[in-house]
């Protein structure tokens, strides 16, 4: 699995902000 991409509900590969994701998980 590529941490830099995320498949949304429509099945499209979209870029996600990994830094923001990490902050959200740590909060």
Give pLDDT, residue 16: 62
Going by the DSSP 8-state scheme, the letter that residue 24 receives in this structure is: H
pLDDT in tens, 1-27: 455 556 677 766 666 666 666 666 766
SS3 state of residue 10? coil
pTM over 0.85: no
* φ, ψ (nearest 5 deg) of residue 6: -140, 135
Give pLDDT, residue 10: 73
């Amino acid at each position: 699995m590529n941490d830099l991409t995320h498949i949304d509900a429509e099945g499209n590969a979209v870029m996600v902000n990994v830094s923001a994701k990490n902050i959200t998980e740590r909060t």
